[in-house]
Structure 1
Amino acid sequence: MTDHNELQKNISNEPARLRQLGWDDHFDHQMLSIDVADGRIVRVISMQRGQFLVTDGLKEWFCSVAGRLMHSKSRDYPVTGDWVIVDGTIVTDVIPRKNILSRGEAGSRGSTAKPTRREQPIAANLDTVFIVCGLDRDFNIRRLERYLTLVHNYALPPVIVLTKADLHDAPESFLSDVESIAFGVPVILTSMQDGRGRTELESHLGHGQTVAMIGSSGAGKSTLANMLFGSDIQATGKVSDSVGKGRHTTTVRELIRMPQGGILMDNPGIREIAFHEDGNGMENTFADITELAEMCRFANCTHQKEPGCAVLHAVKTSKLPHERLESFHKMQREMDYLATRRTKSADRVEKERWKDVALRIKDLKKRKR
């Protein structure tokens, strides 16, 4: 029988310290199924050149992973935000996550040429995701729809953060535009100049809460982290006069313990929003189209040429922007491809399993002769 005494001692002696880092009842429950005898529970702060910076709440140190994890499937490999068990400076186990946020590898957006798309994990064990968008040339409604779908696919709660509000005399117009496509999602205007939006953002950084920021390079994520922390903890780049955008500064994913009691993760800018999962993101992001679809004449309406299509009628009468429907169709094609790929992958696994069974039976028959 597996001895959990050392690990349980680690938890019971340091409950406050672990919970400040984001430990909760989910992980208490997961520990019942961890098949290890001893070790120390820590959280991964960042990954740097194949090394993992971890913390137990008192100190930080670098670790490498055990060989079996090095050669395991990608989802078993530690990522920033993971809770892991270490033996000295070796990560021996990853505690089952409560969630993960990933995207498809860069260059795979809209591509169906590759048989698989590598998963690129962004972070694990999150409570909220800040989708950061600057009110400069970074502002793009269609891109925000993709970010929302990405986050909703993993059943994570998003918050849209509009930075650089001080660049405009009336930034509220941007707020209205975003709220029209972000149903039920908080949208917060922020400005480093006067601290606008800080109070609303701090409500998501309570004790033990983990928030990840995602967005394009130069969107203002590091500047936002500095504002929330109260001092310069992240390097920032000034807005370029030539292109009207902030310069990218963050190079690694890193957990930052905030004075509000929570943990904030800054991320390098995302150049391309490619999907890896086909969850319920579309249904949540395009709730208006989903609602209209219920009134279509045909239950399997694709909203393209069918008669009696309520969605097309909404476009024709200017109640639904044509660009939004185009965005919907484009993402739907990507989701359909992901679903098909997953089905084919499952079929392949099943065929390989039965092929293995057949070979074993054939081998047994040979031995009996």
Structure 2
Amino acid sequence: MNDFLTQWGWRPLFDEDADVYRAQGCIPARVILEHKHMYRIVSENGEYLAEVTGKFRYQADGREDFPAVGDWVMANLRESDGRATIRGLLPRFSKFSRKVAGAVTEEQIVAVNVDTIFLVQALNQDFNLRRLERYLILAWESGANPVVILSKADLCEERDELMAQVHMVAAGVPVHAVSALDGIGLEELAPYIGKGKTVALMGSSGVGKSTLINRLIGHEAMDTGGIREDDGRGRHTTTHRELLLLPDGGLLLDTPGMRELQLWDADQGISAGFADVETLSGQCRFHNCSHNREPGCAVQAALQDGSLEEERYNSYLKLQKELAYLARKEDKQLQLQEKSKWKQIHKQMRTHKPR
């Protein structure tokens, strides 16, 4: 494996698929920026502006089949104009997705091929445990390892109390309180960002992701907007996803702040994110306990003695209902797509019926 591949996070699992495209004159490259199906990719020959082939576009079933920031692709390079053609998308070992904002039932990929996800939440008015639960669920579902970063620690007098609350909802997940402005706690993040390791930063608008990235990189790579005095929140500055190479060899994937974080295909993430609730469910006397008025209900007992907070349990129920609704909606959409497909087939059969 050459130095470029090692530095940019190549995995052995890519080798077999890559060899097929190498026979066609393609070389591996990683997507570092995306703008409406135009991509900035980096290869051992440098950076190129790239687009997928017409065949690639025709065979793609949806957004998830197109490259995303963090993907490894196989491309033909054109040195003459600094452009490239993407012919293949290599397998992903992790994928952080959410449902697109609005009423459309469709997946939106936020980050792929990341080893660790920094879930950044500010220790000021932005602090929200219920939002953190959502991020944790999708992080567990992605296949990457979540780490909670509590930013703006210099602005918070109740840091220890809030950290204890985070540990309650993020059991087993590392939690670090940092201040990018003062350099507090940044040394604790170094083990996650080793050579060839990719870390994605997730969080709502204004939590300090850009300031944190600038501190880790060592210069002003990302624009920052300061703090609004009225609500203590930072101004949202990141408008696109971008993969950045750190001086010591790690990789940071910055993402825009997400005002809306709807779940997408997160059954396993729910189990990991609410392991405490699901463990209690397994201790109920009846295996089909609805946790309402049944005798021997471990969940109700935990709610009554305070070992399970009612807000957390209500959040669990809300997220379960959200996933169930999404599954029903997606199933209906699939049925309509299947019906439309067969209508087109029958129409074509009538059109080409021999006379």
State TM-score, norm by structure 1: 0.86
Paired residues of 2:241 and 2:253 also in contact (CA < 8 A): yes
- 1:22 aligned partner: 9
Q: How far off is 1:297 after superposition?
A: 2.0
Matched AA of 2:317: H
| SS class of match (2:49) | strand
| SS class of match (1:180) | helix
| 1:245 is aligned to 2:240 | no
Matched AA of 1:87: N
- 1:262 aligned partner: 250
Q: How far off is 1:57 after superposition?
A: 4.2
Cα 1:302–1:152 shift into 2, 3 Å:
farther
- 2:191 aligned partner: 203
Q: How far, CA to CA, are the matches of 2:347 and 2:225 in structure 1?
A: 61
| 1:75 is aligned to 2:64 | yes
Q: Which has the higher mean CA deviation after the structures are superposed, 347-356 or 219-228? A: 347-356
- 1:227 aligned partner: 215
Map 1:244-323; keep pairs closer than 5 Å.
Answer: 244-323=232-311
Residues 239-270 of structure 1 show CA distances to partners (whole Å, capped at 9, x for unaligned) of 11012100000111000001231100111100
- 1:101 aligned partner: 96
Q: Which has the higher mean CA deviation after the structures are superposed, 73-82 or 176-185? A: 73-82
Paired residues of 1:66 and 1:92 also in contact (CA < 8 A): yes
Q: Which one of the candidate residues 40, 58, 61 is aligned to 2:48?
A: 61
- 1:131 aligned partner: 119
Once the two structures are aligned, what percentage of the paired residues are identical? 39
Residues 264-302 of structure 1 show CA distances to partners (whole Å, capped at 9, x for unaligned) of 011110011111213301111111111111111221223
| SS class of match (2:267) | coil
Number of residue-to-residue matches in the alignment:
347
Q: Which one of the candidate residues 15, 21, 30 is aligned to 1:43?
A: 30
Q: Which one of the candidate residues 177, 180, 193 is aligned to 1:189?
A: 177
Q: How far, CA to CA, are the matches of 1:34 and 1:172 in structure 2?
A: 52
Structure 2: runs of 5 or more not aligned: 78-83
- 1:92 aligned partner: 87
RMSD: 2.6
Q: How far, CA to CA, are the matches of 2:176 and 2:220 in structure 1?
A: 22
| 1:324 is aligned to 2:317 | no
Residues 321-362 of structure 1 show CA distances to partners (whole Å, capped at 9, x for unaligned) of 110011000001112233445555666778789999999999
- 1:336 aligned partner: 324
Matched AA of 2:71: D
Q: How far, CA to CA, are the matches of 2:46 and 2:21 in structure 1?
A: 24
Cα 1:206–1:36 shift into 2, 3 Å:
same
- 1:216 aligned partner: 204
Residues 159-190 of structure 1 show CA distances to partners (whole Å, capped at 9, x for unaligned) of 01000000123412111110011011111100
Paired residues of 1:212 and 1:267 also in contact (CA < 8 A): yes
Q: How far, CA to CA, are the matches of 1:221 and 1:359 in structure 2?
A: 53
Q: How far, CA to CA, are the matches of 1:259 and 1:30 in structure 2?
A: 30
Matched AA of 2:91: P
- 1:5 aligned partner: none
| SS class of match (2:110) | strand
Q: How far, CA to CA, are the matches of 1:273 and 1:233 in structure 2?
A: 26
Matched AA of 2:152: K
Q: Which one of the candidate residues 165, 176, 179 is aligned to 2:164?
A: 176
| SS class of match (1:91) | strand
Structure 1: runs of 5 or more not aligned: 1-11, 109-115
| SS class of match (2:194) | coil
State TM-score, norm by structure 2: 0.89
Q: How far, CA to CA, are the matches of 1:203 and 1:161 in structure 2?
A: 14
Q: How far off is 1:363 after superposition?
A: 11
Q: How far off is 1:36 after superposition?
A: 6.1
Cα 1:33–1:359 shift into 2, 3 Å:
farther
Structure 1 ranges of 4+ moved more than 3 A: 32-36, 304-307, 338-364
Q: How far, CA to CA, are the matches of 1:322 and 1:157 in structure 2?
A: 27
Matched AA of 1:79: A
Q: How far, CA to CA, are the matches of 1:30 and 1:127 in structure 2?
A: 21
